[in-house]
């Protein structure tokens, strides 16, 4: 009853003229765009898309709010999944984990959650908040904490601004629910990752509880709209026989880095992550070169023997050469014809603290961060 009342109140608060409803076609487009911005990680969007579509079928369309439509003192909480994307392929969620996590966090805080939002622009983690919102009658805010996907909980713009990840709740498909309150966000990542491994390698979470004002000041705005635009562009390119990759690059201000055939993929799940590398043998103008992709859930480095093409925190996405559809790290297969693109990250990540948090040095690579547009202008040479 409380949820039903809150859903009605939400519709009154935001005003009829400003509410945007997300239906099935919007979900389909967002799923594609999320997989692209997820830079290979964030989990395969397929399962999350099915959950969102089923929730819409059962509970109706989802209300999407811009950040400035959220009251400054409202409680907003991110929802999603953490763990290794490869595990998610075989360990499907029950559908109740996220709801249990939210109920537990509300009980602890003694306050109802006004809205949810995705923690990252990536695969399943752009879909799960939509499914949860439909089920609970909550709006979704068009904002996230990365503008892409990253593998660890502290790798968000909220951390850069000093916002706490906890109290947070993680829940698995068996019914195990864990409430965490840690001294800082790095400890939240360590403890939650250990618990995730014990719970089978993937869990759902409720994390980064904050006010509407916090979200407006610290989040990356309009990310779901961008995902939808990317998905729509790929869909319409196919319908009108256009070059999907060219349409994508124009939309995201991106760069073509490489074209070729996947000739090797080395992938393993360890310490709660999917880690590995892939080799792509160059074709057409890239003949004679071999690209290496290094990933930890998400693609982090794209380089040949002679050239560094793109490094984290800039986005590296692998697209099907024919359709333009994104290929996730767990979806990379021998023989696939692929185009690798680079996209400039949000300016928040190009600060000193941003590079310290998600730059190549954090992941153990002896490379200096150089913006992708500078690498492209210099022919891919690192400093």
DSSP string for residues in 276-311: EEEEEEE-GGGTT-EEEEEEESEEEEEE-SS-EEEE
Number of domains in the chain: 2
First to last CA, the chain: 60
Token pair listed for 160: 């850069």
Please report the pLDDT score of residue 185 as a whole number. 97
Q: CB 383: neighbour CB atoms within 10 A?
A: 10
Are residues 30 and 102 both part of a single domain?
Answer: yes
**pTM recorded for the entire structure:** 0.90
Are residues 272 and 181 both part of a single domain?
Answer: no
Write the CATH number for 137: 3.40.1610.10
User: From first to last of its 383 residues, what are the pLDDT tens digits of the chain?
Assistant: 334 433 333 333 333 345 699 999 999 999 999 999 999 887 677 888 888 999 999 999 999 999 999 999 999 999 999 886 666 666 666 668 999 999 999 999 999 999 999 999 987 899 999 999 999 999 999 999 999 999 899 999 999 999 999 999 999 999 999 999 999 999 999 999 999 999 988 899 999 999 999 999 999 999 999 999 999 999 999 999 999 999 999 999 999 999 999 999 998 877 667 788 999 999 999 999 999 999 988 999 999 998 999 999 999 999 999 999 999 888 889 999 999 999 999 999 999 999 999 999 999 999 999 999 999 998 865 43
In-domain check, residue 236: no
Write the CATH number for 309: 2.40.390.10
Are residues 79 and 38 both part of a single domain?
Answer: yes
Are residues 257 and 206 both part of a single domain?
Answer: no
In-domain check, residue 70: yes
Compute the 3-state secondary structure of the chain and give helix, strand, coil in percent, each to the nearest 5.
40, 25, 35
Are residues 60 and 173 both part of a single domain?
Answer: yes
- Helix locations, 96-174, DSSP H: 97-109, 123-136, 157-160
Q: CB 347: neighbour CB atoms within 10 A?
A: 10
Please, are residues 68 and 172 in contact by the beta-carbon 8 Å criterion?
no
Handedness of CA 213, 123, 224, 111 (dihedral sign): negative
Range of the domain at 211: 2-223
In-domain check, residue 231: no
Distance (Å, whole) CA 97 – CA 114: 19
Are residues 261 and 215 both part of a single domain?
Answer: no
Are residues 284 and 218 both part of a single domain?
Answer: no
In-domain check, residue 11: yes
Are residues 141 and 215 both part of a single domain?
Answer: yes
In-domain check, residue 182: yes
């Amino acid at each position: 009853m409380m949820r039903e009342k809150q859903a009605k109140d939400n519709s009154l608060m935001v005003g009829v003229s400003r509410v945007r409803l997300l239906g099935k076609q919007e979900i389909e487009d967002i799923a594609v765009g999320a997989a692209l911005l997820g830079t290979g990680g964030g989990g395969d969007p397929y399962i999350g898309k099915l959950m969102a579509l089923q929730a819409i079928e059962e509970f109706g369309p989802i209300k999407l709010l811009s950040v400035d439509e959220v009251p400054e003192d409202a409680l907003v909480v991110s929802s999603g999944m953490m763990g290794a994307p490869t595990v998610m392929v075989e360990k499907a969620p029950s559908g109740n984990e996220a709801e249990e996590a939210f109920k537990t966090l509300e009980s602890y805080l003694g306050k109802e959650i006004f809205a949810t939002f995705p923690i990252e622009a990536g695969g399943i983690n752009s879909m799960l908040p939509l499914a949860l919102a439909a089920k609970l009658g909550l709006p979704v805010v068009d904002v996230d904490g990365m503008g892409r996907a990253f593998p660890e909980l502290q790798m968000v713009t909220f951390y850069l601004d000093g916002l706490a990840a906890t109290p947070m709740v993680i829940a698995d498909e068996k019914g195990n629910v864990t409430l965490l309150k840690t001294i800082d966000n790095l400890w939240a990542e360590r403890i939650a990752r250990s618990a995730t491994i014990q719970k089978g390698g993937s869990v759902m979470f409720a994390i980064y509880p904050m006010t509407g004002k916090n979200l407006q000041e610290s989040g990356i705005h309009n990310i779901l709209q961008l995902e939808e635009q990317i998905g729509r562009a790929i869909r319409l390119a196919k319908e009108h026989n256009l070059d999907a990759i060219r349409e994508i690059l124009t939309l995201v201000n991106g760069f073509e880095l490489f074209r070729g055939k996947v000739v090797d993929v080395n992938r393993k799940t360890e310490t709660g992550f999917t880690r590995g590398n892939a080799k792509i043998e160059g074709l057409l103008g890239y003949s004679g070169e071999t690209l290496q992709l290094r990933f930890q859930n998400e693609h982090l480095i794209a380089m040949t023997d002679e050239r560094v093409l793109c490094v984290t925190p800039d986005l590296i996405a692998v697209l099907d050469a024919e359709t333009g559809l994104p290929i996730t790290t767990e979806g990379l297969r021998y023989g696939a014809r692929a185009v690798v693109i680079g996209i400039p990250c949000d300016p928040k990540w190009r600060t000193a603290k941003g590079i310290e948090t998600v730059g190549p040095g954090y992941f153990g690579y002896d490379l200096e961060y150089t913006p992708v547009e500078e690498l492209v202008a210099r022919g891919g040479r690192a400093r």
